[in-house]
Amino acid sequence: MDYEKGKDWHDPRIVPYGPLALSPAALVLHYGQEVFEGLKAYRGVDGGIYMFRPQANLERMNRSNKRLCIPELPVQETLEHLFELVKTEHEWVPTLEGTSLYIRPTVIATEACLGVKVSSKYLYFVIMGPVGAYYPEGFNPVRIYVEENYVRASVGGVGEAKTMGNYAASLLAAEEAHAKGFTQVLWLDACDRKSIEEVGTMNMFFVIDGEVITSPLHGSILPGITRDSVLTMCRHWDLNVSERKLTIDEVLEAQAAGKLEEAFGTGTAAVISPVGSIHYRGTDYTVADGQTGPLSHKLYDELTGIQLGKRPDPFGWVVKVK
């Protein structure tokens, strides 16, 4: 689908996968005016094809678009186009338990211009591909590395938008952490360098002395749809839930006192990713017994159960596409 100033969004079409024709001067290539989303379609237990909260992804996309001066998409129409595309390509939705079709809606600035400005032309496109099970051999708790040299985003910046620049800025830290044997970088607040933000592609949750804690949406972390779903479910189960600032010191003090019960990441790819240990200033701190905690298990089973139509969907999150 294209956008041109004065013409709004127009010409939705499904075309075979292939290279894009772009001017080397396209604004996206130089000034990063881009927004993307990531969501999945699942083969339900009844053989039908389901999507999980797709409207929430498009609404987040529009909030990101606003921040990047990209014209907002018509949510209902764009949603219908997504359903149409998934229906057309339904054979690509894999059938094996745990597998899914990953969907990547993207919008880029296409006007050719070397001056820094807001583009007058955009292309919205969607690519898709089947993905395997994230946990083919069961949960695998990850080791995370607390990053102190680099920051991912700061309040007032573009950290709460899903845009390419955030990921480019995080690559070096991730490379360095991987070289040291860690799976994920845990980002701290750019100002206080103490408060926990999020990891590479997931929001973070900690369970300390019965309190389920996640960072508030204060403008520099991505408002994850899995984060929101987890908060909703925990509140539904009457757990003690807080969206509040949590420092790395508080987490490690709780660990020392035996009160750090669980830590896990939330995101579309893994759904729930248990954290086995946290590395901070040269020391590894094991989270509880280093294994997957009971809340992580329960959330994973409940969320994937809802996504696959195995469990009731009390929040109306699942949409049947076909």
Binding site for ligand PMP (CB under 6 A): 38, 198, 201-203, 222, 224-227, 266-268
Q: Nearer to ligand PMP by C-beta: 208 or 270?
A: 270
Residue 176: how many other CB atoms lie within 10 Å: 15
Two tokens at 175?
Answer: 């490379």
What string of DSSP letters covers 91-151? GGS--STT-EEEEEEEEEE--B-SSS---SEEEEEEEEEEE--S-TTS--PEEEEE--S--
In the complex, least distance from residue 24 CB atom to ligand PMP, rounded to whole angstroms: 28
289-302 residues labelled b (16+ CB within 10 A) or e (exposed):
eeebbebbbebbeb
In the complex, least distance from residue 4 CB atom to ligand PMP, rounded to whole angstroms: 29
In the complex, least distance from residue 120 CB atom to ligand PMP, rounded to whole angstroms: 28
Q: Nearer to ligand PMP by C-beta: 141 or 224?
A: 224
Give CA–CA dist 33/126, Å, rounded. Answer: 17
Give CA–CA dist 229/276, Å, rounded. Answer: 23
Q: Nearer to ligand PMP by C-beta: 208 or 271?
A: 271
Give CA–CA dist 98/17, Å, rounded. Answer: 25
Give CA–CA dist 118/82, Å, rounded. Answer: 27
The one-letter amino acid at 145:
Y
Cβ contacts of residue 218 below 8 Å, gap of 6+? 155
Q: Nearer to ligand PMP by C-beta: 113 or 319?
A: 319
In the complex, least distance from residue 38 CB atom to ligand PMP, rounded to whole angstroms: 5
In the complex, least distance from residue 224 CB atom to ligand PMP, rounded to whole angstroms: 3
Reported residue count of the chain is 322
Give CA–CA dist 253/257, Å, rounded. Answer: 6
Q: Nearer to ligand PMP by C-beta: 119 or 229?
A: 229
Q: Nearer to ligand PMP by C-beta: 65 or 201?
A: 201
Q: Which residue is nearest to ligand PMP (CB)?
A: 224
In the complex, least distance from residue 152 CB atom to ligand PMP, rounded to whole angstroms: 8
Q: Do strands 240-243 and 260-267 pair parallel, antiparallel, or not at all (unpaired)? A: unpaired
Q: Nearer to ligand PMP by C-beta: 266 or 292?
A: 266
Q: Nearer to ligand PMP by C-beta: 61 or 308?
A: 61
In the complex, least distance from residue 155 CB atom to ligand PMP, rounded to whole angstroms: 15
In the complex, least distance from residue 320 CB atom to ligand PMP, rounded to whole angstroms: 21
Contact 196, 247 (CB under 8 A): yes
